[in-house]
A and B are shown apart, each in its own frame.
Chain A
Amino acid sequence: MRRDADKEEAAVYQRVVRKNGAPYHYLKTHLVLEDESVRLSAVELKLFIISGLKNLYGEVGAALTFDLLKYNEDTLSALLRVHSRGLVKLWSSLTLLGSFQGQACCLQGPAGVSVPAGAVRKQS
């Protein structure tokens, strides 16, 4: 009986580890500025991030496609989506973005941690 149970367990249990298996990564960030009353539109924020990519990675970096899925103008928080291969580039350029229109700024995640908010695989 035990043997059968073990066999069944061996058959059922299967561990699958996928490294970077998902096509997209999501980044939840919010912009913290020195002057807290400044507001940006979604377009301005996207332009700002593209300029950061351009500063760090040049034209090739600026060509990296990412999407601004959600944006809250009051709290300046945004949800970005990028292809997995572009994650390191986008994330590092967000980290190194230091100034916005002359004032110091910081792109922080919720609770100060910019962690990719999960990978979602599209079910075909």
Chain B
Amino acid sequence: MWSRKVKVNSYFWCLFLSVGFSTVAVNYVFEPTTKKKQVSHHLVLRSGTAVLSRVGRSRPIRVLNRLTIVMSDSSHYRPTAAEYRRFDLLAVYPTTEKLFHAACMTYDVDIICISVTEKLPFFFKRAPVNGAIERGVAFEVSYSAAIRDATMRRYTIANAIALVDTCKGKNVIVSSAAEKRLELRGPHDAANLSLLFGLSDADAKEAVSSTCRSVVLHAERRKSAGGIIHTTKTSPEETPPTPDDRTSTANHKHPVWNKTDMIGP
């Protein structure tokens, strides 16, 4: 059973049933400006599972909420912002090389979006890309721009090929940024399209199924670890004193679980 992800800004749920997706992420793109620095609290987010069920399947479609932050400055991404918690998936769209490097190595996000509507403003370097792959962050290529316009098609394919060359086909997800019903393509079509981007057959299939699923799991892990600070200390009276124990409890420090510990490579 494939678990696929589709990024969409529309509300036609029944379409996903017919096309063949089991998990859908609704994307909200946020572009911080000088006036608008916080994600609006009034955004109506989709519920966890759509009630619709697919013919021949026992599970209804799972709906996730995703936030994409368009970054042109390092202050646009605020790791401690509370509004990020409302979203299941977190993506960034870096526009400069410095931000791309920072997003790959340090930012606590699930997806890094690759520009498909313009010529790449920077080249991909192996070091940050490999760092991102080790951390479990995925790179996203969206294909609906290629459907809309011929020039965008060239940019999409060129940028995707550059990415796949650098990352060797690992941790790539292909999604539609469909704004209309007719811009959506099925998972098999998207997998075939990713062959054009230079992915191998196996990587192409993974790009629409297992890598997407691993991104969703990465997001769950990121969300759950965000709030855990667990400190325990055993007092010496509770433990039965033995010669070995006394020395061990005196020196023993219980692990303090904080966010950086949970999110290791």
Contact = CB atoms under 8 A, between A and B. Distances in A.
Interface residues of B, dominant DSSP: helix
Interface residues of A, dominant DSSP: mixed
14 contacts: A32-B182, A91-B189, A92-B196, A95-B192, A96-B147, A96-B153, A97-B147, A98-B182, A98-B183, A105-B182, A109-B186, A112-B20, A113-B20, A113-B188
Given A88-B195, A92-B192, A96-B193, A108 B146 contact: no
Contact of B187 (A34, A94, A113): A113
Nearest to A110: B18
B193 A92 contact: yes
User: Size band of the A side of the interface?
Assistant: 20 to 34
Contacts of A98: 147-148, 182-183
Interface in A80-124: 88, 91-92, 94-98, 104-106, 108-109, 111-115
B214 to A, nearest CB: 23
Nearest to B146: A96
Interface of B: 15, 18-20, 143, 146-148, 150, 153, 180, 182-190, 192-193, 195-196
A96 B19 CA distance: 16
Contacts of A96: 143, 146-147, 153, 193
A18 to B, nearest CB: 15
Q: Which of A104, A106, A115 has the most CB of B within 10 A?
A: A106
B183 A95 contact: no
Given A55-B150, A96-B146, A112-B20, A88 B182 contact: no
A113 B19 contact: yes
A32 B182 CA distance: 8
Contacts of B19: 108, 112-113
A104 B183 contact: yes
Given A96-B153, A98-B183, A111 B18 contact: yes
A45 interface: no
A88 B192 contact: yes
A104 B182 contact: yes
Given A96-B146, A96-B193, A113 B183 contact: no
A111 B20 CA distance: 8
A112 B182 contact: no
Contacts of A113: 19-20, 186-189
Interface in A5-52: 32, 34
A95 B150 CA distance: 13
Given A56-B153, A98-B148, A92 B195 contact: yes
A104 to B, nearest CB: 4
A87 B101 CA distance: 38
Contacts of B186: 108-109, 112-114
B188 A114 contact: yes
A95 B148 contact: no
Contacts of B185: 95, 106
- By Cβ-Cβ distance, the 8 closest A-B pairs, closest first, are A112-B19, A98-B147, A106-B182, A95-B189, A104-B182, A112-B18, A113-B186, A91-B192
Contact of A34 (B15, B20, B182, B188): B182
A5 B106 CA distance: 62
Nearest to B190: A95
Contacts of B153: 55-56, 96
A32 B196 CA distance: 24
A88 B189 CA distance: 10
Interface in A49-65: 55-56
